């Protein structure tokens, strides 16, 4: 074995970044401080109390009274898999609406666990048409209807009200991906009668990646309890995991103690700000960003009425090199944005305004930096981007 000189390995120091991509977002100092608190046992009385508080705060954010509301000990993709694996058995029909990368991922999971997929394809960059979902539901007997509320790959938002009505009229459970929307816009689980939802900590919650909040309605819990066969994933089997997060505290796995500390603090910050104030902040900064981008001569991918406030897909102008712009923003200004995925690779930039990153200062800094980088590439940006953004702020109600 080749000997190792420990001095070859320097301290981890990535330097400061302004995270304005599709996630992760900037993490507040208080959350990082909580993450660095002493690690204790996952059955320690102090940690058990912290778990209870974390669940209480999650229910507040999800706007639900669901008992089974927990952070799965893995990232958002595991939350997606947990919801499908617990609710879908081999042969169950599942209607999945697809308008981007993450709807496609839902389909992959359904097929891997043996579900019978009924796929509803919509145009990428647009909301899903409820009429298409209704037509698909009429042709089958779905156990689950699944939709991505906030499609991270395109910045499109699909309203849930009509799809919820369609799903429940067919006797199906409604499963929702709110990885990007939770914490940045209202995701009222109980009023919308969402049966299962999952998210991630690294986007609008502004917590490091590593946990996936999920919530199950009473109907979803009943479906879990009435399964004919065990959940295909032992680790993600919520019939066992809930006993650890519930009153019995039965050991299932060693929870990531410090990540739960961090999530609790991130959720406490959200509660301090208040949901309505937080959602209004995301809408305001989104409007200012779009005003600045359009004043510069750039175009948005998604129609105004279907856009997410926290994930903005911007069309890349003709003749501008996608990778070079993102690299220049990172190397010259320490700003990270995302490139396009799937059919939009090389065609759009994904600019995030998530959680702690969603601030007026960041909007104005990004607009100035982008204008500088685009001019270096020969793009003749129209003047007035910052003035357009500023006018949105000055005209906003106090």
Percent of the chain with pLDDT over 90: 95
| Neighbouring residues of 10: CB distance < 8 A, sequence distance ≥ 6 | none
Please report which confidence band the pLDDT of residue 398 belongs to, taking 50, 70 and 90 as the band edges. low
Whether residue 358 has pLDDT greater than 70 = yes
* CATH architecture type of domain 275-395: Alpha-Beta Complex (3.90)
Query: How do residues 198-231 score in pLDDT, each as one tens digit?
Result: 999 999 999 999 999 999 999 999 999 999 999 9
Domain ranges for the chain, please list them: 29-272, 275-395
* 29-272 CATH pick, 3.40.50.1980, 3.40.1350.10, 1.10.10.10, 3.40.640.10: 3.40.640.10
How far is 160 from 197, CA to CA, in rounded Å?
12
Report the run of H or E that residue 327 belongs to, with start and end. helix 322-333
Average pLDDT for the chain: 97
Query: How do residues 169-186 score in pLDDT, each as one tens digit?
Result: 999 999 999 999 999 999
Contact (Cβ atoms closer than 8 angstroms) between residue 207 and residue 27:
yes
The number of beta carbons lying within 10 Å of the beta carbon of residue 299 is 11
Mean pLDDT, residues 7-32: 95
The number of beta carbons lying within 10 Å of the beta carbon of residue 104 is 18
Mean pLDDT, residues 261-286: 98
Mean pLDDT, residues 347-366: 98
Which pLDDT score is estimated for 207? 98
Mean pLDDT, residues 307-328: 97
Angle, vertex CA 261, rays to CA 259 and CA 267, nearest 5? 100
Mean pLDDT, residues 16-38: 97
Q: Residue 237: left if φ>0, alpha if ψ -120 to 50, beta else—which one?
A: beta
Which pLDDT score is estimated for 66? 98
Which pLDDT score is estimated for 247? 87
Mean pLDDT, residues 307-333: 97
Query: How do residues 67-119 score in pLDDT, each as one tens digit?
Result: 999 999 999 999 999 999 999 999 999 999 999 999 999 999 999 999 999 99
Displacement of CA 180 from its chain's centroid (Å): 2
Mean pLDDT, residues 233-238: 98
Contact (Cβ atoms closer than 8 angstroms) between residue 314 and residue 351:
yes
Mean pLDDT, residues 2-23: 92
Mean pLDDT, residues 374-390: 94
Look-up of token digits 């050991």: 251
Percent of the chain with pLDDT over 70: 100
Angle, vertex CA 124, rays to CA 334 and CA 90, nearest 5? 105
């Amino acid at each position: 074995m080749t000997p190792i000189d420990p001095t070859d390995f320097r301290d981890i120091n990535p330097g400061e970044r302004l995270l304005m991509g599709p996630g992760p977002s900037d993490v507040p100092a208080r959350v990082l401080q909580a993450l660095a608190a002493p690690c204790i046992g996952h059955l320690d009385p102090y940690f058990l109390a912290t778990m209870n508080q974390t669940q209480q705060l999650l229910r507040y954010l999800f706007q639900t009274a669901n008992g089974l509301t927990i952070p799965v000990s893995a990232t958002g993709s595991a939350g997606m898999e947990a919801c499908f694996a617990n609710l879908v058995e081999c042969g169950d029909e599942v209607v999945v609406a697809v308008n981007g990368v993450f709807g496609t991922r839902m389909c992959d999971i359904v097929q891997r666990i043996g579900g019978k997929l009924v796929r509803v394809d919509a145009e990428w960059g647009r909301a899903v048409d409820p009429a298409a979902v209704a037509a698909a539901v009429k042709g089958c007997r779905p156990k689950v209807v699944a939709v991505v509320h906030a499609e991270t790959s395109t910045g499109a938002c699909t309203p849930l009200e009509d799809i919820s009505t369609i799903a429940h009229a067919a006797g199906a459970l409604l499963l929702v991906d709110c990885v990007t929307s939770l914490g940045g816009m209202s995701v009222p689980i109980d009023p919308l009668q969402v049966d299962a939802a999952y998210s991630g900590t690294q986007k609008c919650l502004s917590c490091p990646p590593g946990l996936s909040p999920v919530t199950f309605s009473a109907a979803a819990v009943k479906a879990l309890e009435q399964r004919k066969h065990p959940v295909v994933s032992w680790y993600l089997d919520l019939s066992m995991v809930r006993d650890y997060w519930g009153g019995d505290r039965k050991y299932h796995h060693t929870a990531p103690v410090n990540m739960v500390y961090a999530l609790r603090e991130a959720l406490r910050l959200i509660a301090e700000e208040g949901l309505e104030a937080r959602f209004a902040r995301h809408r305001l900064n989104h409007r200012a960003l779009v005003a600045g981008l359009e004043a510069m001569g750039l175009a948005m991918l998604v129609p105004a009425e279907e856009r997410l406030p926290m994930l903005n897909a911007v069309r890349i102008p003709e003749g501008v090199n996608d990778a070079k712009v993102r690299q220049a923003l990172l190397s010259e200004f320490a700003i990270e944005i995302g490139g396009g995925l799937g059919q939009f690779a090389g065609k759009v930039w994904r600019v995030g305004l998530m959680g702690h990153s969603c601030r007026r200062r960041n909007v104005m800094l990004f607009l100035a930096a982008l204008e500088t980088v685009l001019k270096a590439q020969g793009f003749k940006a129209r003047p007035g981007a910052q003035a357009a953004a500023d006018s949105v702020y000055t005209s906003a109600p106090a």
